[in-house]
Structure 1
Amino acid sequence: MTSFALIGAAGYIAPRHMKAIKAVGGDLKVAFDPNDSVGIIDSHFPQAHFFTEFERFDRHVDKLHRRGEHIDFVSICSPNYLHDAHIRFGLRAGSDVICEKPLVLNPWNIDGLIEIERDSGRKVNTILQLRLHPAIIALRDRVAASNQRHSVDLTYITSRGRWYHASWKGDDSKSGGVATNIGVHFFDMLAFVFGPLQSQTANLREGERAGGLLSYEKADVRWFLSVDANDLPDGVKGQKTTFRSITVDGEEVEFSDGFTDLHTRSYEEILAGKGYGLEDVRFSIEVVSQFRQLPVVTGGEKHPFAAKYIKG
């Protein structure tokens, strides 16, 4: 039975990892989170050890290793700015790593992890679940079969309450900002479908929302991301808290369903030796890191949702 440790057990995404570990026949041996609101563990692995202090968690993992109960994978669901340190812990503990998006906040962090990966002989895997979504795979196949250059609009609005800005997610130095926190896997998906990025422009960069332009090998993309419920389309407000939309040449690509099992699919691929590693994620990390530094351009082409917040 494949054994796991989990860092960040109280987070929003942790239950999907617990479910995935259970689904692939794994065993969660130990979990850590400074917050003790982790009763969800009982639904999956009630016998798992749990610690609220990293030092005690570290000691327990080391004790397991020394008595021959090796941890095969360390799964990481901690705040974005801690991913780099927690990946390093997992590799140095002699385990392979599965880390939530964004893997790290800056591309130079990847270079350091490559060295530790090489020294440890272990592997870092990341969750790029949209690459496994059937609708996205079908779109990629369709684009690959055509020589046409496409016009794309990407819109993703996921409502967050006031707590969001009081948490680490509202601190750009810890989350990377809206584009990084909720958008990095969309940028990976766009490159997966439309090829290498050629250029990008920042049109909007605020605490609640962001928007810009991306030029790929086979597409020009206008994008808008938001955590403000006020940005939801009128037909969605009061009915749903999330709105996802991708249009290609004016045609909607339906991919709203099928998200809940993609973490399990990701774990299946990783255990089969087909996970996405450090170099696979470099491109999307470069995009969001660069976006944070770009000057904001208010004139010219822009996403329709972003236009009302932009003067110029």
Structure 2
Amino acid sequence: MKNFALIGAAGYIAPRHMKAIKDTNNNLVAAVDKNDSVGIIDSHFPEAAFFTEFERFDRYIDKLKRKNHGSAIDYVSICSPNYLHDAHMRFGLRAGADVICEKPLVLNPWNIDGLQEIEKDTSQKVNTILQLRVHPSIIALRDKIQNAQLTKKCEVDLTYITSRGKWYLHSWKGDEEKSGGIATNIGVHFYDMLHFIFGELQENVVHYKSDTKSAGYLEYENARVRWFLSIDYNDVPDDVKATGQRTFRSITCDGE
């Protein structure tokens, strides 16, 4: 059994981390969030210590480490806003734990270099969650592409519209300095998926960018990709709206 600490316990994705920790027969020892609407903890780990101040959480984690009789944290699970991921990963590594962090790991690519250095210094490891890489249909498409004798690049169109309410732009997710914007906050999984399937990135062009939508062109070793991301309900196709749905997802590869 491994000991976990959780940063961002009141966040949208935190309950999935709690459930995963429990389902794998591990233990959540401590959690922190400046917001205290965290009753979900009772469903999984009611005995976990909870803090609303990071400094007290930090002190508690350090105390567990110094006790040195099996109570130290093995993993720090990070569900905090995007702009805090870098600092929270550094904290976890320096606390002597491996880290599991939600996407995106960082907002500025050069910050990865610093994380790698701390990994080497501490002998701990950062892990991120790229769930599309284990999706059966994505694996099947990747295998198909790798086994095909391609004579030309695949033509790919990716559209992802996930309608969000007025709250979105008033939260940290609507602040580009905190979320990285639509492409980073919503598109990161798709970009990774495209890289996973079609190989190394060769060209990257952004054609349009606003607070609510973004579009562009990506070229990989084996594909030419046109992509469009939006949180605007007006972009949902009328036939989809007619069914009551507020989201629309489409990926076509050579028309399929």
Aligned to 1:257: none
What corresponds to 1:232 in structure 2?
236
- Aligned pairs for 1:30-41 within 5 A: 30-41=30-41
Number of the residue aligned with 2:56: 56
For 1:80, the equivalent position in structure 2 comes to 82
Cα distance, 1:232 vs structure 2: 1.2
Root-mean-square deviation over aligned CA pairs: 1.0
The number of aligned residues is 251
The CA deviation at 1:225 is 0.7
**CA distance in 2 between partners of 1:185 and 1:227 (Å):** 16
Q: With the length of structure 1 as denominator, give the TM-score of the two structures.
A: 0.79
Residue 305 of structure 1: aligned partner = none
Structure 1 equivalent of residue 94 of structure 2: 92
- 2: CA distance, partners of 1:70 / 1:205: 45
Cross-structure match for 1:124: 126
Q: How does 1:1-312 map to 2 (within 5 A)?
A: 1-68=1-68, 69-148=71-150, 149-237=153-241, 239-251=244-256
Q: How many Å separate the matches in 1 of 2:13 and 2:21?
A: 13
Deviation at 1:150, TM superposition (A): 0.7
Structure 2 residues not aligned, in runs of 5+: none
TM-score (normalised: structure 2)? 0.96
How far did 1:231 drift?
1.2
Structure 2 equivalent of residue 310 of structure 1: none
Per-residue CA shift, 1:121-166, capped at 9, x if unaligned? 1000011111111110000000011133211111111111111111
Amino acid across the alignment from 2:9: A
CA distance in 1, matches of 2:245, 2:48: 35
Task: Specify the code of the residue in structure 1 equivalent to 2:131.
Answer: Q
Give 1:112 deviation, angstroms: 0.3
Q: Hey, what's the Cα distance between the residues in 2 that align with 1:169 and 1:91?
A: 26
Rounded Cα–Cα distance in structure 1 between residues aligned with 2:211 and 2:22: 36
Deviation at 1:241, TM superposition (A): 2.5
Gap runs ≥5 in structure 1:
252-312
* Partner deviation per Cα, 1:33-89 (whole Å, 9 max, x = no partner): 001111111111111111000001101111111112110100001010000000000
Per-residue deviation at 1:22?
1.2
Equivalent in the alignment of 1:303: none
Distance 2:109 2:239 in 1: 39
> In structure 1, the residue corresponding to 2:227 is in which secondary structure?
strand
Measure the CA separation in 2 of the matches of 1:3 and 1:38: 19
SS in 2 for 1:98: strand
1:246 and 1:167 map into 2 onto residues whose CA distance is: 29
Within 2, Cα distance between the matches of 1:184 and 1:70? 33
Q: Distance in 2 between matches of 1:79 and 1:108?
A: 19
How far has the Cα of 1:218 moved from its partner?
0.5
- Give the SS at the match of 1:139: helix
